[in-house]
């Protein structure tokens, strides 16, 4: 029995809406060779080679520029993957991606790198595969747009008059490698055709016909030329040009090769093999019509081929790879070298690359590769973005993650990747903060640049993002069972620490001990963060902080310049308020003997900002910010006894004040009721320990 609905589903409107959003052009176009020449004359860019198309694709998404520690950096929007909701977004690798795009630009201009294998090198989990996947998907989508359209051709025999050439019952013979239709033009005609097409062309691009058709198409072309007494026009009447849409799933223009067991793999997977069923039809295994041009090099023609763990390839495969990169040809079994037009990109990890360096037989491959290091991220904000992308509200479904949980996990990951600073007075945590854009006294951008230069393998070792993701997932499952669905940083820290015991990639006990020590450092950092938040929630007066800061700076300026301070109430000039300055400085353990140095550091920092045209903001100076908050908290904490949280007895007035603090944590810092309560209890226990110590 059918059930009537008030409004029927309109499938056509859905399809039209999606097509409009995708911006796809007419993908079903087909026409004669002459009609295609008119398209080329109007839009020569349809004949671009694979490198030119890929470079134009990336640039077409737009760029943004910024300065990172006095280095000019270009961010390519293409790698944000916005059309897929950031699924394959790449964070924090702008400089390596700049190097990659520069290689593609050089190849697009024909400067030599088009004859190289692009080799992405880095530790496991450093986004090498993500970069390749983003490029492949981008190339696929680009072929569906007006800007990225490209064409290929079919051989047609509509009346079945040439079965001796096409095969019995064959009226349409698609060219198996999806070549550019202009390659059908014999060498004698190409220069004249190029000149005619390029005459009066606008822009910098000029058509250049390079390469040749595949053996199967060459066979049909030659036979038809014989049949028509070398009348090229008659031969081209058997050509139907059509729009080409690249597709990884359909193995059109996008190939992926992954090494397997040597016993079950041979080079035909790259260059194709004989179709034994067609030998009976065509009479010989050397007839190109009886050959399957379906190796990864063949199917990737006009697009891109990705080599997964390329350096695990057997030597026999490397010969094919060398020819494909340097000469743009492959050698199918029993046939002449065949032209290909594709971007060759591979990736490998550290152990495999070391093996390449140590193997003298691999010298030819080393000479034909352009290595681009893809390190781990060493900036906290970008590492945090990776996990926020993976553990968002759509994925969590009712599970809440307390503030700083993701940040704490990212902090541990980044710290494991940083080399210990050579400066004795600088910790890895401070180094991480400097890299992340925070400021420290006596450290300028030149110092940060020097820190980066003195490293040897920073970012190439450490904990993989996959390990962090696994442990966050474990903590989420645990939270659903024991903590009302609320994940807090301590749960993640415990998972990270317990996982180190059986980590498959860390066998060095000293390294494990170092990582456990870093977890302790992360825990201390987290305690400082939440203490600060609770303190700010108690004081919660930014205006008061600004006033306190202004008062302190005025007094420090007068002190360092041996001047007086004008009292805004009395109008009298007075000596700098030593008691106020020391009450703030003591909060961050500045001893009496160091007070002059600290005050000069603050004034020098303000002066350096002024020279750069920047205004001083106490929030950018972590130590001063912390000191001001502690001072303001001390001035106001007597109005609320937070330590009463650790006891069972709490009077009504105190409880109301605690509820106000909890509300501020929820409203201003993103906590929910469970996590806000947890944080208040934990910070209260810290203050309680402090009270005991004071007594």
Q: With H, G, I as helix, E, B as strand and everything else as coil, classify residue 437.
A: coil
Given 355, 375, 395, which residue is the final one in a domain? 375
| pLDDT above 70 as % of the chain | 91
Query: Rounded to an integer, what distance in angstroms lies between the CA atom of residue 60 and that of residue 146?
Result: 12
371/506 same-domain check: no
Position with higher pLDDT, 7 vs 443: 443
142/246 same-domain check: yes
For residues 311-342, b (16+ Cβ closer than 10 Å) or e, as one string? Answer: bbbeeebbebbebbbeebbbbbeebeebbbbb
The answer to whether residue 5 scores a pLDDT higher than 70 is no
**What does the pLDDT average to over 217-226?**
96
- Give the highest mean pLDDT range of 78-82, 315-319, 646-650, 685-689: 78-82
For residues 296-306, b (16+ Cβ closer than 10 Å) or e, as one string? Answer: bbbbbbbbbbb
The answer to whether residue 620 scores a pLDDT higher than 80 is no
326/426 same-domain check: no
The answer to whether residue 691 scores a pLDDT higher than 60 is no
Are 57 and 78 in contact by the 8 Å Cβ rule? The answer is yes
427/300 same-domain check: no
The answer to whether residue 645 scores a pLDDT higher than 60 is no
What pLDDT shows up at residue 320?
85
> Over 468-506, what HEC string results?
HHHHHHHHHHHHHHHCCCEECHHHHHHHHHHHHCCCCCC
276/425 same-domain check: no
At 380-413, the pLDDT tens digits run 999 999 999 888 765 667 788 899 999 999 999 9
Rounded to 5°, angle at Cα 375 from 369 and 381? 145
551/499 same-domain check: no
At 445-493, the pLDDT tens digits run 888 899 999 998 999 999 999 999 999 999 988 888 776 778 889 999 9
At 86-135, the pLDDT tens digits run 899 999 999 999 999 999 999 999 999 999 999 999 999 999 999 999 99
522/551 same-domain check: no
At 514-542, the pLDDT tens digits run 999 999 999 999 998 998 888 778 766 67
Given 515, 536, 557, which residue is the final one in a domain? 536
337 phi, psi to nearest 5 deg: -60, 135
684 within some domain:
no
Are 120 and 132 in contact by the 8 Å Cβ rule? The answer is yes
CATH value at residue 145 = 3.40.50.300
- Give the highest mean pLDDT range of 12-16, 134-138, 359-363, 608-612: 134-138
331 within some domain:
yes
260 within some domain:
yes
319/441 same-domain check: no
The rounded mean pLDDT for the chain is: 87
3 within some domain:
no
What pLDDT shows up at residue 695?
34
Domain coverage including residue 339 = 26-375
What pLDDT shows up at residue 692?
38
334/385 same-domain check: no
235 within some domain:
yes
What pLDDT shows up at residue 182?
97
At 257-314, the pLDDT tens digits run 988 766 667 778 899 999 888 888 888 888 999 999 999 999 999 999 999 988 877 7
297/384 same-domain check: no
326 within some domain:
yes
Q: How far is CA 695 from the centre of its chain?
A: 52
646 within some domain:
no
Query: Rounded to an integer, what distance in angstroms lies between the CA atom of residue 90 and that of residue 458?
Result: 19
What pLDDT shows up at residue 4?
47
512/599 same-domain check: no
Element (H, E) at 153: strand 150-156
Element (H, E) at 602: helix 595-611
**What does the pLDDT average to over 73-82?**
96
Counting beta carbons within 10 angstroms of the beta carbon of residue 308, is it exposed (0 to 12), middle (13 to 18) or buried (19 or more)?
middle
| Predicted TM-score of the model (pTM) | 0.82
**What does the pLDDT average to over 541-566?**
85
Q: How far is CA 4 from the centre of its chain?
A: 49
What pLDDT shows up at residue 694?
43
At 156-200, the pLDDT tens digits run 998 888 988 998 888 999 999 999 999 999 999 999 999 999 998
What pLDDT shows up at residue 1?
44
| pLDDT above 90 as % of the chain | 49
Given 375, 404, 428, which residue is the final one in a domain? 375
Structural domain count, the chain: 3
What pLDDT shows up at residue 541?
64
369 within some domain:
yes
579/486 same-domain check: no
């Amino acid at each position: 029995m059918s059930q009537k609905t008030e409004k029927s589903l309109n499938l056509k409107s859905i399809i039209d809406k999606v097509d409009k959003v995708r911006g796809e052009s007419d993908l079903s176009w087909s026409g004669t060779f002459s009609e295609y020449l008119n398209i080329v004359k109007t839009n020569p860019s349809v004949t671009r080679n694979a490198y030119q198309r890929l470079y134009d694709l990336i640039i077409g998404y737009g760029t943004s520029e910024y300065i990172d520690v006095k280095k000019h950096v270009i961010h390519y929007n293409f790698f944000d993957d916005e059309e897929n909701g950031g699924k394959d977004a790449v964070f924090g690798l702008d400089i390596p991606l700049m190097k990659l795009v520069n290689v593609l630009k050089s190849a697009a201009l024909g400067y030599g790198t088009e004859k190289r294998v692009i080799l992405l090198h880095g530790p496991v989990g450093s986004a090498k595969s993500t970069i390749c996947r983003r490029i492949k998907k981008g190339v696929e989508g680009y072929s569906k747009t007006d800007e990225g359209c490209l064409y290929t051709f079919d051989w047609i025999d509509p009346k079945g008059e040439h079965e001796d050439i096409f095969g019995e019952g064959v009226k349409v013979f698609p060219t198996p490698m999806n070549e550019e239709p202009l390659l059908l033009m014999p060498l004698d005609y190409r220069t004249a055709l190029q000149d005619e097409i390029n005459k009066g062309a606008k822009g910098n691009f000029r058509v250049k016909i390079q390469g040749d058709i595949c053996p199967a198409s060459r066979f049909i072309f030659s036979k038809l030329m014989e049949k028509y007494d070398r009348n090229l026009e008659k031969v081209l009447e058997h050509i139907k040009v059509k729009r080409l849409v690249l597709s990884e799933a359909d193995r059109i223009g996008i190939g992926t090769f992954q090494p397997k067991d040597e016993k079950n793999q041979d080079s035909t997977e790259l260059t194709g093999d004989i179709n034994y069923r067609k030998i009976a039809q065509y009479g010989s295994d050397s007839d190109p019509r009886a050959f399957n041009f379906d190796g990864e090099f063949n199917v990737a023609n006009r697009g891109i081929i990705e080599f997964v763990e390329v350096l695990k390839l057997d030597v026999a495969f490397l010969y094919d790879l060398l020819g494909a990169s340097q000469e743009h040809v492959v050698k199918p079994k029993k046939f002449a070298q065949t032209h290909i037009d594709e971007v060759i990109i591979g990736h490998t990890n550290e152990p495999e690359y070391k093996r390449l360096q140590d193997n003298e037989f691999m010298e030819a491959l080393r000479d034909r590769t352009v290595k681009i290091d893809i390190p781990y991220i060493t900036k906290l904000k970008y590492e945090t973005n990776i996990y926020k992308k993976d553990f968002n509200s759509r994925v969590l479904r009712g599970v809440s993650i307390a503030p700083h949980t993701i940040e704490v996990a990212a902090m541990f990951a980044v710290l494991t990747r940083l080399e210990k600073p050579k400066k004795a007075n600088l910790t890895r945590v401070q180094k991480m903060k400097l890299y992340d854009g925070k400021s420290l006294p006596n450290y300028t951008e030149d110092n940060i640049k020097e820190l980066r230069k003195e490293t040897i393998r920073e970012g190439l070792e450490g904990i993989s993002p996959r390990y962090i993701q696994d442990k966050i997932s474990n903590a989420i499952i645990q939270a659903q069972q024991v903590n009302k669905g609320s994940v807090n940083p301590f749960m993640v820290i415990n998972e990270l620490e317990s996982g180190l015991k059986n980590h498959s990639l860390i066998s060095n006990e000293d390294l494990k001990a170092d990582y456990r020590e870093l977890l302790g450092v992360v825990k201390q950092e987290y305690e400082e963060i939440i203490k600060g938040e609770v303190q700010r929630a108690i004081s919660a007066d930014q205006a008061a902080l600004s006033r306190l800061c202004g008062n302190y700076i005025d007094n420090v300026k007068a002190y360092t310049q041996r001047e007086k301070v004008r009292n805004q109430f009395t109008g009298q000039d007075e000596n700098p308020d030593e008691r106020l300055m020391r009450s703030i400085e003591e909060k961050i353990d500045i001893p009496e003997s160091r007070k002059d140095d600290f005050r000069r550091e603050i004034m020098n920092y303000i002066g350096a900002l002024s020279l750069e045209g920047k205004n001083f903001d106490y929030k950018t100076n972590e130590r001063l910010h912390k000191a001001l908050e502690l001072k303001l908290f001390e001035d106001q904490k007597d109005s609320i006894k937070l330590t009463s949280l650790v006891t069972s007895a709490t009077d009504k007035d105190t409880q109301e004040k605690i509820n106000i603090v909890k509300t501020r944590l929820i409203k201003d810092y993103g906590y929910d009721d469970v996590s806000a309560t947890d944080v208040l209890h934990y910070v209260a226990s810290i203050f309680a320990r402090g009270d005991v110590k004071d007594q």
